[in-house]
Structure 1
Amino acid sequence: MYKVLRDPKKYIEAFLKIKTKESKIIPFTVNEPQEKLYQTVERMRQEGRPVRIVILKARQMGFSTMTEGIIFHGCATRFNRSALIITHKDEATSNLFNMSKLFYEQLPEQIRPMIKASNAKELIFENPTKNQREKKRNPGLKSKIKCTTAGGKGVGRSDTLTYVHASEVAFWPGDIKEILTGLLQAVPDTPDSMVIFESTANGFNEFKKIWDDAVTGESDFVPLFFPWFEMKSYRKPYRGEELTEEEKGIMERFSLEPEQIMWRRWCIKNNCQNDLDMFRQEYPSTPEEAFLATGESVFDTEAVSKRLYYVLENDPVKKRGCFVYDKTVTESQSGPQIVLKNRQWQEQEKGEIVIFREPEDGVPYVIGGDTAGEGSDRFTLQVLDNRTGEQVARLMRKYDEDEYAEQAYCLGMYYNCALISLETNFSTHPIRVLEWLRYPRLYEREVFDTYTGSMRKSFGFHTNGLTRPLVVSGLVTYFREHLHFIHDPETLREALTFIRNDKGRAEAEEGEHDDLLMGLGIALQSRTQQKMEQTQTRRRKKWTRDMWEDYRGASAKEKAYLREKWGDPM
């Protein structure tokens, strides 16, 4: 008995009972998705980590039931535990409270803890006696489970909570972020604590940000996604009906059986009013499918989703990290001179640079970069093999302009002195840093000089009313004809939320990013200033100060000639 009481799953399946849709009381049997959730909880506990999980799910998979079971076990078998269950509406709050109440009522009498009466939706496991001496001698567990509805002010703020279950977070009324912030402040960062957020998707609200932060490692929450086809009960008889091309593609992509496709067809017709987009949101196959863009997508989202699924399953990252170096700065009449010595690659689990293809000798590369500005705080770089346009590396990180330019320098030198083209709309500082670093191959554009009345050369890419449509058009063509050249999941995810607004302007969905896409588009537009063919490996030589001065004052053609004559700089 003791072992069963200490083991949550054994306790749940031995003692807890649930009510079915047919109002029958039956033993709680853990299904496959519930088992995956339980194993994640137990793994985090065994690792000594506070349990922090965010679940993105299809409907009716039983995660609320499993979470309530784990919470009930903790509060009904241990002292001084406090749990808060918070839902999106009063009806759901009543349902979850009644579930916990049924758990208690159906427990065998010998393991049923004392309970104190309460008018609220809460179970208080405490000695109900009014005799203070008796209560002091035998107080009971002094644990409690409270159920409430989101929307009230200060929910959970006055409590110290051991467990929090936030159900259908995406559908909470009011300020979701403010409510969750208050809840999280009430939960101590201890190994025995547990916070589980779960929801189906509801567009691009705060729940999507919680999910994205978990996926990218910006938070300690573990993301768990459960597609509809993980439920064994989601099946209908197959009698040889002809499948559509879309259905055949889904079967092949996710290794499904005809009976599952028949359930999908039935569900779209009967539960989703023949609205395929509604089905994808309510019963998603992938996380990206769950979060639907509200505007007209610029790209073919079905094709992008397929590529994303393929990349996640079959296209592993070569390495991830950043460059480290020793930095020296000297002042001169022409400005600071920066040298990055002892440049080395450093592996990092969450490094800002991801490499998909290592550089090849003699291959020309081009780097496009989008800098932080206009509401974005992210710097990005995209590295392309200029022979084909294939993505070989990318950078995405929040940091200052100097570090961004220095990483761009290192990445460019790593890829055979790649052509670097950085956006200059909001700041020219990264380009100036690359000049101070004496980077040998920068993108040049023509600028009208109002003083001399003539055109002059200027480094960097300027996005304006003339060039932005070209960038977007280039991206549309690239995604249509060369989607297989993209290896980065984050770039593909941005493509899924890149829409045309009411005025027809292509931009990121509100609250989303397009920095990686813009970096890619700039790289594509800059390719003509770089060679397109592989050449024999050129020698490298340490240039003198005079050579650098001659090079900096030369035109693009003269610079190419000097590199051929002197060799690439070391």
Structure 2
Amino acid sequence: MGVYIDTLFSFGGEMMIKSKTKQSRALKKVMGDFRLFCKNFVKIVDNNGDTVPFVLHKEQEEFINNLGKMTICLKGRQIGISSVVLCYMLWQAIRKPNTNYLIITHHNKVSKALFNKLKFYYKNLPHDKYPELFPTVLLDNREEFKLSNGSMISIGTANGTDNISGVTWQMVEFSEMSKWPNDEIKEELLTTATFALAKNEDSKIIVESTGLGYDYFAELFLKAYRQKDSVWKPIFFNWLADGYNLLYKHSFQEAEAWYKANNGGRRLTYDDLDKTERELHDKYGATYKQLMYRRWEIMRGSEQKFNRELPTIPDHAFAGTSQSIFDTNKIIERLQNVIPPLPTNEIYDELPDVLKPYINKNLFIFHLPKKGIRHYGGVDVASGAGNQTDNSTIAIYDADGQQMASFYANDVPVYKFAEIVNELGRMFNYSFLCVERNSYGLPLLEKLRKEYGYMNLLKQRIFDQKGKHKTQLGFMTTNTTKPIIIAKLKENFELGLININCVQTLEEMKIYQEDKNGKMGNKKGANLHDDLVIANALAQEAMAKARYYVDI
């Protein structure tokens, strides 16, 4: 009958069914436990092409055991998460009459392959042995699979078509979201699914994907992974997970044979490891067999591609492209070691009233100022119109290059932002501020100087049309001056002359690029900004000037 039930009721090699009641209890137990359902009733095709019982490996069990209402999973390639989600949907559809399930993928071929896999699971259930246990099929086409108990599993692609509205869904899976056409579609479909989800305790949304640069999926996952108050439950499986030892067994063997053939028949040893490999071995527990496989794959592709497809840490999956201006490896290393901002309850009473509503929402303070120490800041000003517009940003450093505070918001109007800049600057020992004067920077500078009497502002010397020097408040970024301040930020960061603590700043640096025409800016896409990069670059300009027009 199956692994579990045969074991439970066998004696002397013969099946001994004590009674229909006992059999009924056994079936109820198996149908009520997903792991037992898979082991006893579901068949899969393994890497050898054999049809075998679906025994969940460690990571598949961990995934199922940790599912929340809204789960987001970053994974390496081919660890079997899509397969276990399909089977979980089928299990739920069989057990829960009149419920609906939806799978969205990035391509029609992928949708077809997943749907065929789900139908294979159903077809190979023990229908003949237990004809009354499983509902029959009423409808089976390219997009819908409807059972006689009223439950239906549907599949679609993320091509901009609304596959979600008008139906209440018990479970929705978004597969390989990073490969979807654009961030607007990702955000729109996810928002629609959230409102269309059934209002019961077992309904779920699952987003699972490998990484493909910094996009909406990356933003969503990293926020959940790093912040305790996210509505999403993050799950991450790296390439060193136990499941890969099972699923990649033959590939590991091939890699070992390749290494031996090129190294006199000997295996890899600790003395052969480079710096990165030693870290993987010492810190993450990578075996020599896994490290030989890593070398083999990198020889066939590149380290960047390996890290994306089989990440060790989440940031590897979302690393920038070769167009990135800043050293992505240094950014990733810094992200592993940033300190959290000071807790609200520790600093709230010390904040000016103007800043209190923003603390640890838009304003993040990493260190409080020390008496007599000079501080330097950069300020980039936006309209404050909200939605997907640019952020108004502030970056504050002390004289030693330690980042003290960071602010970003896109819904604060210029007049209100001027008040925030004034209070934050004065809080940090009357910081010497470099304000970008382009566009909205001019009215902000005017309010700082005339309304708030803020005197510690950078002045830029320029030539007028008559060839005479004059000074103006703020810093004008142009095609000439922008590369200079970005280069200074890159140098200071990569040489360790400054210590950036703001995670969002580091994320923006990962996608800050120079195109083939020499134009600098963030990778294009919804919710992708570079305003913190500019504020931090302006702070470097303030530090380089090392001026102070006030006493502290």
Q: TM-score range by the shorter chain?
A: 0.7 to 0.9
Residues 320 and 354 of structure 1 are in contact (CA less than 8 Å); yes or no, is this contact kept in structure 2? Answer: no
Residue 124 of structure 1 pairs with residue 146 of structure 2: yes
What is the CA distance between 1:471 and its match in structure 2? 0.5
Residue of structure 1 in register with 2:174 after alignment: 166
- 1:385–1:106 CA distance, 2 compared to 1 (3 A): same
Residue of structure 2 in register with 1:416 after alignment: 429
Residues 213 and 320 of structure 2 are in contact (CA less than 8 Å); yes or no, is this contact kept in structure 1? Answer: yes
Match of 1:479 among 493, 499, 508: 493
Alpha-carbon distance in structure 1 between the residues aligned to 2:352 and 2:48:
73
What are the superposed Cα offsets for residues 110-130 of structure 1, whole Å, 9 maximum, x if unpaired? 77232233231543232xxxx
The AA in structure 2 aligned to 1:497 is: I
Residue of structure 2 in register with 1:106 after alignment: 125
The AA in structure 1 aligned to 2:176 is: E
2:404 is paired with a residue of what secondary structure? strand
Judge which range, 354-363 or 171-180, deviates more. 171-180
TM-score normalised by L of structure 2: 0.77
What is the CA distance between 1:519 and its match in structure 2? 0.8
Residue of structure 2 in register with 1:381 after alignment: 394
Residue of structure 1 in register with 2:318 after alignment: 291
Alpha-carbon distance in structure 1 between the residues aligned to 2:172 and 2:354:
47
2:207 is paired with a residue of what secondary structure? strand
Alpha-carbon distance in structure 1 between the residues aligned to 2:390 and 2:345:
20
Residue 30 of structure 1 pairs with residue 30 of structure 2: no
Alpha-carbon distance in structure 1 between the residues aligned to 2:132 and 2:73:
31
Alpha-carbon distance in structure 2 between the residues aligned to 1:487 and 1:204:
19
Match of 2:529 among 513, 529, 534: 513
What are the superposed Cα offsets for residues 458-500 of structure 1, whole Å, 9 maximum, x if unpaired? 3322212342232012112112212661222222222222222
Residues 323 and 407 of structure 1 are in contact (CA less than 8 Å); yes or no, is this contact kept in structure 2? Answer: no
Residues 160 and 185 of structure 2 are in contact (CA less than 8 Å); yes or no, is this contact kept in structure 1? Answer: no
2:337 is paired with a residue of what secondary structure? helix
Judge which range, 103-112 or 142-151, deviates more. 103-112
2:136 is paired with a residue of what secondary structure? coil
Residue 247 of structure 1 pairs with residue 277 of structure 2: yes
Residues 380 and 394 of structure 2 are in contact (CA less than 8 Å); yes or no, is this contact kept in structure 1? Answer: yes
The AA in structure 2 aligned to 1:112 is: L
What is the CA distance between 1:378 and its match in structure 2? 0.8
Alpha-carbon distance in structure 2 between the residues aligned to 1:253 and 1:470:
38
- 1:117–1:496 CA distance, 2 compared to 1 (3 A): same
Residues 106 and 176 of structure 2 are in contact (CA less than 8 Å); yes or no, is this contact kept in structure 1? Answer: yes
Alpha-carbon distance in structure 2 between the residues aligned to 1:280 and 1:455:
52
The AA in structure 2 aligned to 1:63 is: I
Residue of structure 1 in register with 2:478 after alignment: 464
Match of 1:397 among 409, 412, 419: 409
2:152 is paired with a residue of what secondary structure? strand
What is the CA distance between 1:431 and its match in structure 2? 2.3
Residue of structure 1 in register with 2:235 after alignment: 224
What is the CA distance between 1:85 and its match in structure 2? 1.8
What are the superposed Cα offsets for residues 88-118 of structure 1, whole Å, 9 maximum, x if unpaired? 3444334433433344342572772322332
Residues 375 and 396 of structure 2 are in contact (CA less than 8 Å); yes or no, is this contact kept in structure 1? Answer: yes
Residue of structure 2 in register with 1:527 after alignment: 543
Alpha-carbon RMSD: 3.5
Residue 442 of structure 1 pairs with residue 457 of structure 2: yes
- 1:22–1:483 CA distance, 2 compared to 1 (3 A): farther
- 1:188–1:500 CA distance, 2 compared to 1 (3 A): same
Residue 357 of structure 1 pairs with residue 367 of structure 2: yes
- 1:262–1:68 CA distance, 2 compared to 1 (3 A): same
Residues 324 and 343 of structure 1 are in contact (CA less than 8 Å); yes or no, is this contact kept in structure 2? Answer: no
Structure (1 or 2) with the greater strand fraction: 1
What is the CA distance between 1:39 and its match in structure 2? 3.3
Judge which range, 175-184 or 153-162, deviates more. 175-184
2:478 is paired with a residue of what secondary structure? coil
What is the CA distance between 1:356 and its match in structure 2? 1.7
Residue of structure 2 in register with 1:146 after alignment: 154
Judge which range, 238-247 or 477-486, deviates more. 238-247
Residue of structure 1 in register with 2:20 after alignment: none
Q: Give me the identity figure in percent.
A: 26
- 1:341–1:167 CA distance, 2 compared to 1 (3 A): closer
Alpha-carbon distance in structure 1 between the residues aligned to 2:358 and 2:166:
44
| Structure 1 residue ranges without an equivalent (≥5) | 45-50, 127-140, 326-339, 532-555
Residue of structure 2 in register with 1:503 after alignment: 517
Residue of structure 2 in register with 1:280 after alignment: 307
What is the CA distance between 1:529 and its match in structure 2? 5.1
What is the CA distance between 1:368 and its match in structure 2? 0.9
- 1:396–1:31 CA distance, 2 compared to 1 (3 A): farther
- 1:259–1:216 CA distance, 2 compared to 1 (3 A): closer
- 1:343–1:89 CA distance, 2 compared to 1 (3 A): closer
| Structure 2 residue ranges without an equivalent (≥5) | 1-24, 257-266
Alpha-carbon distance in structure 1 between the residues aligned to 2:480 and 2:50:
67
Within a 5 Å distance, the mapping from 1:186-197 to structure 2 comes to 186-188=196-198, 191-197=201-207
1:304 is paired with a residue of what secondary structure? helix
Residue 319 of structure 1 pairs with residue 327 of structure 2: no
Alpha-carbon distance in structure 2 between the residues aligned to 1:355 and 1:496:
22
2:139 is paired with a residue of what secondary structure? coil
Alpha-carbon distance in structure 1 between the residues aligned to 2:463 and 2:488:
25
- 1:317–1:36 CA distance, 2 compared to 1 (3 A): farther
- 1:244–1:527 CA distance, 2 compared to 1 (3 A): closer
The AA in structure 1 aligned to 2:134 is: P
| Count of aligned pairs between the two proteins | 491
What is the CA distance between 1:383 and its match in structure 2? 0.8
The AA in structure 2 aligned to 1:319 is: P
What is the CA distance between 1:525 and its match in structure 2? 0.6
Residue 264 of structure 1 pairs with residue 294 of structure 2: yes
Residues 368 and 382 of structure 1 are in contact (CA less than 8 Å); yes or no, is this contact kept in structure 2? Answer: yes
Residue of structure 2 in register with 1:535 after alignment: none
1:80 is paired with a residue of what secondary structure? coil
Residue of structure 1 in register with 2:5 after alignment: none
TM-score normalised by L of structure 1: 0.75
